[in-house]
Structure 1
Amino acid sequence: MRLVLLLVCLLYFIPPANSQENKITDTSEIDLTKMNLLLNEISIHTTLNIEDNKTQIIRLNQKEITSSLSKNPAELLEKSIAISVQKSQNGGGSPNIRGFEANRILLVLDGVKLNNTIYRSGHLQNILSIDPFILENISILHGPSTVFYGSGALGGSIILNTINPENYSENINSFSSQHESSSNSYLTHLHSVYKKNNTSFLSSATYKKYGNLKMGVNRFHGYENWGKDEFTTNENTQLYSDYSQIDLTQKIHHKINNSSSLSINSQFSTTSDIHRYDKLNDVSNGSPKYESWYYGPQTRVFNSLSYSNHLNKILADKIDLNFNIQNIEESRHKQKFTDNFSTSRIENLDIFDSKISLRKNIKNWQIDYGFSNRFEKLSSDAYNKNVSGDMSFATSRYPDNGSEVLNFSTFILSEYRSNNKLKWFNAVRGDVEKIEVHFSENNPFELNETLLLENWNIAASSNLFYSILENNFISFSIYNSFRNPNVDDLGKVFSKVDGIVVIPNPDLNSEKIVSSELMFQHLGKNNKFDIVLFNSFLTDAIAKREISINGVDSILYDGEWMKTIANTNITSAKMMGVNLIYNQKINDKLSVKSISSFVNAISSDSFPLAHIPPLSSRLQFNYSVSENSSFSFYSIYNSWKKSEDFDLNGVDNFEEATIDGTPSWYTLNLIYSRKINNFQLSISCENILDAHYKTFASAISSSGRNFIVNLQSEF
């Protein structure tokens, strides 16, 4: 009923839109294109706004997002900046930043942290619930993101901002339709911006339908049967990889007066059932292990209320207030091939957030400070159902009597500018979090009925930015971050790898990291070059290790005796790496840009650290045929991930790789775009060579040769 009411409200608020050409009036962001660089560059910023980070930031603007022809934000990051993205199924997409993934990176949508207490440590597809067709920009940032947003930014943050209707001076309607051949998918999107007096509206709807994904035919890696699973593939078609998704957005911005405004942001996303491909390809005694294994509809409801006021008072020149409520519902359903019953596990999570941010300018100083608190309430249920429809007890994924999380934090950020050459940034955050998880007295694990966990943390960052020569800059940063254990770390019981079950461990500390970065940046008239060297020291890292309960190292779970492992704080790990970005405008028609990244890690216990991706790079050539048409040719490359570098507890999914690891791969891709009046036609051929490959840690093979036709129109 709650979801039905939300849909009705969204439809009620959809306003009419006049057929007028839109003009964006916001000029608050300085774009590097104004320095005669490329219109479609990756931009590097170093201003105080938290999204314009003091350390390296990679930002994609709306034009880059649209021209990438991406179906979701994870694919956008993979296509545009060669970020490693893991996929367990076609409806998956887990970005990896500097060797950190899932709950070790922050997802921030319109200033609100999406990370929650059931974000797991393995692989996450939650970013797919965000509609790429309404993104205004997306940024990857490091450094003080933990200070501003709180727990979770060990590897960095992915900042996603949706279209702000206030930035448009006139009403618009925008329509987009896309078809892809490799999965026989269809995407349709429509959004409208309507302005009346001091109020602006944005209404958006997107529908996506994906068929079964076809893998590449040409096996340049030499492994003829890799990815050709007996029961889940038909020649090169990967069965059970189809699904659909609906995304709805309604935003309202009201200008109260010249100094204050009020904004409402409502979003809704849901999917069909999504089959778990990496489970359906499991084989036991010559037969499929599972009759079925799928995620039920994954639903995200997001409602945010924001108030902004330019006070010009002693304590603050500006104040921002935000209150938001999120509801997450997800479920897992499986039935073994030999069983006559299915098992369902359902999670429902409510999140209540509030935040106050203030800004004060004092001579050469700009100071931002504030407070935030969050409360999360989780319910977790499970049951078995036989063929007659009779239901019986099953162990829940999380504690069956519910869980609560309470967080309170305060922060302060400062920017000092002594002259045009020197900038100094500092930030500090204090954070306290308390978790309570409640097991029923009938729990089969002989645990206490209530487990408590409390963590106190301080995060800080400092960055010095200096112009050494004209158009040449150097930046040095040092910062620490943390990630509080969540309910997924503390109280989850689940089995991913055959014969192994993860059980709760109440003795967990926060993961902590100390990082340093050295960045050199050159901004020329027609070129740009960035090199970033980073070094991180991770302590109390949470990793899965073998554990015993009352001297016993196995328990009966889902009808099988399984070895027990648990999340444990390992001693430490050291990580280091480099990022390179180079853009060059060769002439008025031709430009080239490239990006590469490499990370290496060493664990103190001598075991390979999970999530460490291979070297990745991307090279793109843009050629402008005329004012209204252009070509883009790009290649993406990933190096080998050898078998000895995979983690030992199944996080890296070695069973989905070859016996030697994940082979290196590259793709060649071409996009042609032409504007005809109010229409934009784009035709693309991805993976031109039809190469077979899997991205690191993925179960499903990546798309083979894929033809894309996209038609966009604004009216």
Structure 2
Amino acid sequence: MQNNLTLLILLFSLLVSNAQEVTVLDAENGQPVMNVAIYNQDKSTTTITDFSGKASLKAFTRNELIYFKHLSFQPYTVLKKNLAKKGYRIYLEPNPEQLEEIVVSVSKWEQQKKDVPQKIANVSAKDIAFTNPQTAADLLQQSGKVFVQKSQLGGGSPMIRGFATNRVLISVDGVRMNNAIFRGGNLQNVISIDPFSIKNTEVIFGPGSVIYGSDAIGGVMNFYTKNPKLSYTDSTTVTGNATYRFSTASNENTAHAAVNLGFKKWASYTSLSYNNFGDLTMGSHGPDSYLRNTFVTTVNGTDVLVANEDPKKQVTSGYNQINALQKFKYKPNPNWEYDLGLYYSETTDFSRYDRLIRPNGSGDGLRSAEWYYGPQKWFMANSQITKKGKNKFYDGVKLTTAYQFFEESRNDRGFGEAIRYTTKEIVDALSINLDFENKKIGDLRLYYGLGYVFNKVNSTGSQLDLSNGDTEPTASRYPDGATWQTFAGYVSGAYQVKPNLTLLSGLRYSQVWVDATFDTTYYPFPFKEADLITGALTGSLGVSYFPTANLQLTLNGSTGFRAPNIDDVGKIFDSEPGSVVVPNPDLEPEYAYNIDFGISRNFNDKLMLKATTYYTYLVDALVRRDFTFNGQTTISYNGEESNVQAIQNAAKAYVYGFEFGAEAFLNDHWQLEGNLTLTEGVEEDDDGTDSAARHVAPTFADAHLKWKKDKFATDLFLNYNAEIAYDDLAISERSKTYIYAQDQNGNPYAPSWYTLNFRGSYQFNSQFKGNMALENITDQRYRPYSSGIAAPGTNLILGLTYTF
């Protein structure tokens, strides 16, 4: 009996002893972290982790709050008594500053940012959590480096260096989102990416066609979602968070929850978000022409124009959205990794607000009774297999296969009309990428691979007679069953000439096929099909040079291209009142030639200055211009005689600009940041006429005064956009008088505007964190350039996050 008692005492003592020891691990790779400082609030008790990431906690009391701190990781706090729930293991998240030194976008493999000659902006998970954006479009806009246009609340079309829509590329976890019906008009597909699920975002400025192929002319936006985290032990770990957000300008209610289940060799990450946005309210001080004085409602089957009780409320701009993400990771050993991601996003119907405020021909009413997008749906299944380890031909290989499903529709009905016209599009997209990394050839690091993309477009048209409920088929927006596919191979290399001098170059050849058959039931097309086969060779050559340790110079030359897609070749739609775009099967790719120069200077880690200047020349530009259809300049479309237009290789363009950024670290608590972007661009038609490029954003800037101390973080900042005068507006924008203010001559123009804003966060304890923002404090009424909806007025945003 005494021996048994002694054994029990020894076992109990051993368990207590083990419970007094904590292990600190890197949350990204599960490796132990040594030299982590562990201390209590008044630092009367301190210790550090050893080589195995372990440290004894015997000196700390059970109810004491323990702090974990390391220069390369984010600080962490926890009550000692709660460590048992965590298996006495702490996972530290790497500092965003550390992550920013590594980029993936340029080669699809990790590279030192300092070796890359292209400008890359990184938005970290920490930045996202602090700014608390409503959508991924707002995430980009809040970076201060990307301009975002909105035609409606459920929208956001990024503009980068004078290019937008199908001339910039969106990628999610290495898979291109751009599909065969990405158009030259403004796009809102980026809102399908849930900001709550994003780990970090990398934006490449300038052509990225060597790695990403068609569409990557102005830049590439890479969104990397959060990955499942392994436990790296025999014990199961369960972590997660829940967030609620409310904003006053749209009466928004958002809820989000995420759970990570980690085992030694496999893990699961689940994320779910729901957004409910009401009608957006604009500011009080600005042009009266932006006010929503009237709107259309239907009473007993009759359209009625009624007065808006609150003209600042942009009636029928609200919508709902749900986003879901499920990812699995299996890592049987250090060399092999298997990842599966399932992504889903769906909106409710949402109004295209700029079409709802268009006046009718006489100017005494509104043109449309209804104009809304049907549910925007996006699904992706993404499978990645990664193998690391030295081989004769590679040190790393990654196979990525993905299937995507896109669904969208357009529904419009004229005021007083009984017919509602609907077009519906479904795109099925398959992609396969095989990417290799090789570091064997001395100081030369090679990246190479193959890629294939296949898109099929299903498009239907119908018209509903609301007076009797009859539905009839009508012309579709695109040729039904059309396909777009591309096959490409690329090679890229980084060569370290000297420790302070790196060359980066690459080549890619892409072959593109377009196959479409046109239905002549509704329109007597002078052709029956489009069968395009085009190819493009693109390349890049750049240098990153450090004359001194604190000065970096970069010079980069690159080419980009965009092959015609189904939207260019086969679309039929009303581009603007009185105009209709018709198919044109005789198109060639457009090419861009770009050069940019950058300089960065670090002044004793107290001041960082960055500047970039660039010039891009676009030839054979695919633009919308007047056209003839069977020899006619006008045709009847939806009952209206309309001017005929088509996408044509009818112009060239040049865009140039300057980008500047600064960071000043005043002390341990205070920091100043700012960005300034100036862009100019001109489109020149083949007949010699020229005009301002449509997607050149106005000069925009931001300035931030940040303060951090212990559990507090604050940011007082100013956003500014310069004016675009009537003479500097693109020709296509001048006809949209209903979205612009009027100058003293009665011509449309985009006024300058500014907003003063404040945001802050407070970490109540290790589990609860609060966010608060007050945007547009002075309640300015403004519309960002080319936007159809006015921006929010004074907007209070509150958020609360619980982490376990």
- The TM-score normalised by the length of structure 2 is 0.82
- Secondary structure of the 1:256 match is strand
Q: Which amino acid aligns with 1:546?
A: D
Q: Which amino acid aligns with 2:356?
A: L
| Alignment partner, residue 694 of structure 2 | 610
Q: Distance in 1 between matches of 2:454 and 2:527?
A: 23
Higher relative contact order (CA 8 A, sep 6+): 1
Q: Distance in 2 between matches of 1:80 and 1:598?
A: 16
Q: Distance in 2 between matches of 1:445 and 1:658?
A: 41
| Alignment partner, residue 208 of structure 1 | 275
| Alignment partner, residue 580 of structure 1 | 660
| Alignment partner, residue 525 of structure 2 | 446
Q: Distance in 2 between matches of 1:205 and 1:439?
A: 41
1:408 aligned to which of 454, 465, 487: 487
| Alignment partner, residue 704 of structure 2 | 620
Rate the CA distance shift 1:105–1:367 in 2: closer, same or farther, 3 A. Answer: same
Does the 8 A contact of 2:496 with 2:502 survive in 1? yes
- Secondary structure of the 2:210 match is helix
Q: Which amino acid aligns with 1:198?
A: K
Q: Distance in 1 between matches of 2:535 and 2:128?
A: 39
- Secondary structure of the 1:291 match is strand
- Secondary structure of the 2:333 match is coil
RMSD over aligned Cα, in angstroms?
2.3
Structure 1 residue 287, shift from structure 2 partner:
3.1
Q: Distance in 1 between matches of 2:25 and 2:738?
A: 51
- CA deviation profile, 1:274-326 (whole Å, cap 9, x unmatched): 01111111222433322211111110010011101124221112110011000
| Alignment partner, residue 789 of structure 2 | 700
| Alignment partner, residue 741 of structure 2 | 658
Rate the CA distance shift 1:708–1:47 in 2: closer, same or farther, 3 A. Answer: closer
Q: Distance in 2 between matches of 1:391 and 1:602?
A: 45
Q: Distance in 2 between matches of 1:691 and 1:334?
A: 32
Q: Distance in 1 between matches of 2:655 and 2:396?
A: 39
Rate the CA distance shift 1:151–1:333 in 2: closer, same or farther, 3 A. Answer: same
1:294 equivalent to 2:372? Answer: yes
Q: Distance in 1 between matches of 2:271 and 2:24?
A: 18
Q: Which amino acid aligns with 1:607?
A: S
1:511 equivalent to 2:590? Answer: yes
Q: Which amino acid aligns with 1:376?
A: N
Higher mean C-alpha displacement, 598-607 vs 678-687? 598-607
Q: Distance in 2 between matches of 1:496 and 1:229?
A: 25
Please show how residues 316-331 of structure 1 align to structure 2 within 5 Å.
316-331=394-409
- Secondary structure of the 2:229 match is helix
Does the 8 A contact of 1:105 with 1:156 survive in 2? yes
- CA deviation profile, 1:423-443 (whole Å, cap 9, x unmatched): 110111000001011112314
| Alignment partner, residue 288 of structure 2 | 224
Please show how residues 14-163 of structure 1 align to structure 2 within 5 Å.
24-26=27-29, 50=106, 52=113, 53-143=116-206, 145-163=208-226
1:475 equivalent to 2:567? Answer: no
| Alignment partner, residue 422 of structure 1 | 501
Q: Determine what percentage of the aligned residue pairs are the same residue.
A: 26
Runs of 4+ residues deviating >4 angstroms = 20-23, 33-36, 38-49, 167-170, 650-654
Structure 1 residue 384, shift from structure 2 partner:
0.7
Q: Which amino acid aligns with 1:115?
A: N
| Alignment partner, residue 68 of structure 2 | none
| Alignment partner, residue 639 of structure 1 | 722
Rate the CA distance shift 1:570–1:43 in 2: closer, same or farther, 3 A. Answer: farther
- CA deviation profile, 1:517-556 (whole Å, cap 9, x unmatched): 1110123422211100101111111111111123210000
Does the 8 A contact of 2:229 with 2:261 survive in 1? no
| Alignment partner, residue 591 of structure 1 | 671
| Alignment partner, residue 186 of structure 1 | 253
State which structure, 1 or 2, has the greater radius of gyration over its C-alpha atoms. Answer: 2
Structure 1 residue 347, shift from structure 2 partner:
0.3
2:773 aligned to which of 668, 681, 684: 684
Q: Distance in 2 between matches of 1:196 and 1:208?
A: 32
Structure 1 residue 142, shift from structure 2 partner:
3.0
| Alignment partner, residue 13 of structure 1 | none
Does the 8 A contact of 1:268 with 1:299 survive in 2? yes
| Alignment partner, residue 8 of structure 1 | none
Q: Which amino acid aligns with 1:97?
A: I
Structure 1 residue 565, shift from structure 2 partner:
0.9
1:313 equivalent to 2:316? Answer: no
| Alignment partner, residue 647 of structure 2 | 567
1:522 aligned to which of 601, 609, 615: 601
Q: Distance in 2 between matches of 1:161 and 1:618?
A: 25
Rate the CA distance shift 1:444–1:25 in 2: closer, same or farther, 3 A. Answer: closer
Q: Distance in 2 between matches of 1:336 and 1:41?
A: 53
Task: Tell me how many residue pairs correspond in the alignment.
Answer: 687
- Secondary structure of the 2:731 match is coil
Does the 8 A contact of 2:30 with 2:231 survive in 1? no
Does the 8 A contact of 2:230 with 2:265 survive in 1? no
Q: Distance in 2 between matches of 1:40 and 1:461?
A: 29
Structure 1 residue 504, shift from structure 2 partner:
1.1
Does the 8 A contact of 1:229 with 1:281 survive in 2? no
Does the 8 A contact of 2:526 with 2:630 survive in 1? no
Higher mean C-alpha displacement, 173-182 vs 329-338? 329-338
Rate the CA distance shift 1:292–1:47 in 2: closer, same or farther, 3 A. Answer: closer
- CA deviation profile, 1:576-612 (whole Å, cap 9, x unmatched): 1011010010011110100111110123331222111
Higher mean C-alpha displacement, 346-355 vs 602-611? 602-611
Does the 8 A contact of 1:533 with 1:577 survive in 2? yes
1:254 equivalent to 2:330? Answer: yes
Rate the CA distance shift 1:637–1:588 in 2: closer, same or farther, 3 A. Answer: same
2:635 aligned to which of 535, 555, 570: 555
Structure 1 residue 263, shift from structure 2 partner:
0.5
Q: Which amino acid aligns with 1:619?
A: A
1:339 aligned to which of 380, 398, 417: 417
Rate the CA distance shift 1:96–1:441 in 2: closer, same or farther, 3 A. Answer: same
Rate the CA distance shift 1:257–1:196 in 2: closer, same or farther, 3 A. Answer: same
| Alignment partner, residue 7 of structure 1 | none
Does the 8 A contact of 1:84 with 1:696 survive in 2? no
1:375 aligned to which of 451, 454, 472: 454
Rate the CA distance shift 1:48–1:668 in 2: closer, same or farther, 3 A. Answer: closer
| Alignment partner, residue 239 of structure 1 | 315
